[in-house]
Amino acid sequence: MKIVGVTKCPTGIAHTYMAAERLEKTAAKLGYEIKVETQGSQGTENKLTRKEIAKADYVIIAADVSIDEPERFNGKKVFKTRIKPVLKNTENIFERLEEEYFIMGGIDAVQECDLKDSDAENAGNMIEHSDKKESTDILGQLMNGVSYMIPFVVVGGLLVSLSLSFGATTSPDGEVVFLGIWDKVHQIGALAFTLMYPILAGFIAFSIAGRATLAPAMIGAMVAMNEEILGTKAGTGFMGCIIVGYFVGYLVKWMNSWHVVKEFKPMMPIFIIPLTGVITVSALFIFAIGKPVAMMMEVLNTMLVQLAANPSSAIILGIVLGAMIGVDMGGPVNKVAFFFGVTSIAQGNLQIMGIVSTSIAVAPLSMGIAALIGKEKFTEEEKNAGFYTIFMGIIGISEGAIPFAASDPIHVLPATIAGSAVTGAFSAACGITSAVPHGGLVVALFKATNYMSLYLLSVILGTAVSAAIVLAFKKKQNCR
């Protein structure tokens, strides 16, 4: 059997490549020929050729967001899944191939493949189910926008942090002044933050209805962020941009369903759709929802600042966010907390991201250390992965702990949740901040936090708690 695959996670970092590796190893074990294309943060790698796709018996698409160029697989037997099932039980994916595939591209493509009538009917039902699932995958569409937004926030946060660390001074009247070239560095960082909003809206919309959405969604987001156009004290923030993304995405999806004469078809994506989209979304924000959303965001930001400022409420906030980070290590709950931190950076509240950044490192660091210390309680494969998992914790990739959680969730998950919650609480109580939307010890090394020593101490505390819990309760393994 010849198989091709595509993997893509929201951030395009760890899950994308871990899933590809699992598919390749399991296919080799089962005697199948496979090639997996990864669509990660560095672009498309190991790209599938037309010839390889044509020869493949099945296509496996393991993705939590929409993939690039899905039309390449029209007419092929496609099995679609999220990343997590691949990491949890890869063999099961291959067992389900023949029973749960659908034909990409619709009934016409099914008929071209010379399937039996019953197979075509079944495939048609699967296509309808798949389309319905994709259209209602709200979180996946949001994460698609976030994955494209993150590099802008990372660059902006690092530049702003560096300019504040090395080139800032305070004038007698309390104003922050940047010296020499650092003023330019700070301005470039601010530009990166400005771009994050249209990027977020644009690629939420893009995941719904393709490239025709980019212009109206990005321009609409800039309108939603412009207080002068809206007539408000401030823009609508990330919430307004999310609304723009979904509104434009589904507006364009509806417009794409119009039956227009062939003379107008070439004009739809380059003129009619962008112009109609911009006018519609701008009018929506100027005359209807701009002021209420801006007011809601102002209240939300004020509430967060007050929660973070009060020691007792800050600790509760830290426990909740830390536990969310540790519960599924890069999964949906983790991503919600992470997105909360990212958007708080844009609102000027760096303490929320401080809680998230420190908590991200706990799961991989603790599991890697535990595997090296308590060798009799881990398999040979887990022990060999110990150093690699620790490294992933240092650079802020919580997904490194997923293999440990997948093999023994009953003992690992309570440990990672507890340790991450301890780190989150300590970070909140100490007022630790992070100016970049990332986690791990690298945040402190890049001086993107206000208290480097406390940042490191918060990670060490949670890691110690998590490692101690898993070593105390995890049972001995029959090591391979």
Calpha distance 245→89 (Å, rounded): 34
Stretch (H or E) spanning 89: none
Please provide the DSSP assignment of 167-179 as one string.
SEEE-TTS-EEE-
Calculate helix-pair angle for 237-256, 332-346, nearest 10 degrees.
Answer: 120
Which tokens sit at 451?
Answer: 């208290």
> Listing from the earlier edge strand, what are the strands of the sheet with 43-45?
43-45, 33-40, 2-8, 58-63, 77-81, 102-103
Alpha helices in 329-408, H assignment, sequence order? 332-346, 350-360, 362-373, 380-384, 386-394, 402-407
Q: Contact 54/77 with Cβ under 8 angstroms?
A: no
Alpha helices in 31-137, H assignment, sequence order? 50-55, 83-88, 90-100, 107-112, 117-135
Which tokens sit at 259?
Answer: 């039956």
Residue of 9, 241, 430, 479 with catalytic role:
9
Which tokens sit at 237?
Answer: 């923030």
Which tokens sit at 441?
Answer: 């010890």
- Cβ atoms < 10 Å from Cβ of 89: 13
Number of helices (H), then strands (E), in the chain: 23, 8
Nearest one of 64, 68, 70, 103 to 84, comparing CA atoms? 64
Residue 430 designated active-site = no
CA 41 to chain centre: 11
Nearest one of 129, 106, 93, 19 to 63, comparing CA atoms? 19
Calpha distance 362→422 (Å, rounded): 10
Active site amino acids: 9
